[in-house]
Structure 1
Amino acid sequence: MPHATRVEIAHLVASPVHRLEGRPADGPRDEPGEPPSRTSVRVRAHLGIVGDRYFGQRAHRTAAVTVMAVESVERVARELGVDAGLDPVDTRRNVLLRGVDADRLRGMRFSLDSGDGPVEFQGHRPANPCAWMDVMLAPGAFRALRGRGGVRCEPLGDGILTVGPAVLRTERPLDDGDGDGARLF
């Protein structure tokens, strides 16, 4: 893939349980065991992230890994006037990137390399936000995240992703076309 962009893998999330089931008014389920935030994750082709609730789930084969831009959550915090900021991990997206508009990965083949070799993905449909975002992030976050909730992806290769600097390779450029590498948020 010819187009390389330096990004940061800001957060990795793998949770063995579904916390956000039922009605948001009832609150999230408890999460037993270790917290979902990880420093590294193992990705398996066509299965997902080892230890995540969607790993190997047939219904989620093309949506086993979700990728989102941290900047989307930061923008929502500004729009909603949340001075303390919002924790991107609370979106429960698996891979939270800084430095690229992850929503542009929809329909695109791409790879992420955080130092242990590239891990390839196919971006599919949007990872639309749900009403739980009003509970997990802030009132109004559900609507504010529409169109910027990230993308659901199918892993095409095995590998390790680690929090920190990474290289995103794509089939086509992700910038606004003026050649300065600007990301549109």
Structure 2
Amino acid sequence: MAARREVEIVALHASAVHAYEGRPSDGPRPDPGPVRRDHVEVRAKLGIVGDRYFNRPAHRNAAVTFLAAESLDPWPVDPVVARRNVVVRGFDVDALPRGAVFSLDSGDGPVRFEVHRPANPCAWMNAVIAPGAFKALRGKGGKRCVPLDDGVLRAGTAVLDIVSA
């Protein structure tokens, strides 16, 4: 795994509500506003400002979710439907082990994240992506992380650096 590489942040997502609650057959709840962001503010140990997991004690070690865009390549979907906070192209997020620390710098300085656990897909993926997506995304649903620094992430080109693996 290369220590430093250029990646693309293809989508940033922050939503104050859970859209995928209840039964997938009933369809997602509407978001109260746009969830796709051109940039997000990250706060150390708290998450992404304005996101439903920000400063939630039960989610402190899982407040920011990352997904490799390549995991969604089999389907022509907007990566925001996966509802991961940061979708990157050019890096295998799922290869990061628990405890790994990486930084992402999209032009405003590096922001470090510590990997805590997989972001497992749910049955909603069959409803919002395609039938079979839930099973196909097992092991490729991304990682839940805790931010270690305050900072800003912007969509577009970024530098990802593995600090420790």
- TM bin, normalised by shorter chain, reads over 0.9
Q: Which has the higher strand share?
A: 2
Q: For residue 96 of structure 1, report the CA deviation from its aligned partner.
A: 0.2
Equivalent position to 1:146, from 135, 138, 142: 138
Long gaps (5+) in structure 2: none
1:7 is the counterpart of 2:13: no
Contact map agreement 2:16 2:50 (CA 8 A) in 1:
yes
1:69 match = 68
Number of residue pairs the alignment of both structures matches = 163
Q: For residue 106 of structure 1, report the CA deviation from its aligned partner.
A: 3.3
Over residues 69-118 of structure 1, what are the superposed CA-to-partner deviations in whole Å (9 max), with x where a residue is unaligned? 111100x32xxxxxxx1221100000000001111223211100001000
Over residues 47-87 of structure 1, what are the superposed CA-to-partner deviations in whole Å (9 max), with x where a residue is unaligned? 0000001000100000000000111100x32xxxxxxx122
Output the TM-score relative to the length of structure 1: 0.85
Q: Tell me the secondary structure at the aligned position of residue 19 of structure 2.
A: coil
Contact map agreement 1:118 1:159 (CA 8 A) in 2:
yes
Range with greater deviation from structure 2 (104-113 or 41-50): 104-113
Output the TM-score relative to the length of structure 2: 0.95
State the distance in 2 between where 1:104 and 1:112 align.
Answer: 16
Q: For residue 132 of structure 1, report the CA deviation from its aligned partner.
A: 0.5
1:44 is the counterpart of 2:43: yes
Contact map agreement 2:14 2:37 (CA 8 A) in 1:
yes
Long gaps (5+) in structure 1: 78-84, 174-185
Q: For residue 172 of structure 1, report the CA deviation from its aligned partner.
A: 5.6
- Percent of paired sites with the same residue: 60
Aligned-residue Cα RMSD (Å) equals 1.3
Contact map agreement 2:102 2:164 (CA 8 A) in 1:
no
Over residues 128-165 of structure 1, what are the superposed CA-to-partner deviations in whole Å (9 max), with x where a residue is unaligned? 00000011111110001001000000001100000011
Q: Following superposition, which runs of at least 4 residues in structure 1 exceed 3 angstroms of deviation?
A: none
2:22 match = 22
Q: Tell me the secondary structure at the aligned position of residue 41 of structure 1.
A: strand
State the distance in 2 between where 1:30 and 1:95 align.
Answer: 20
2:84 match = 93
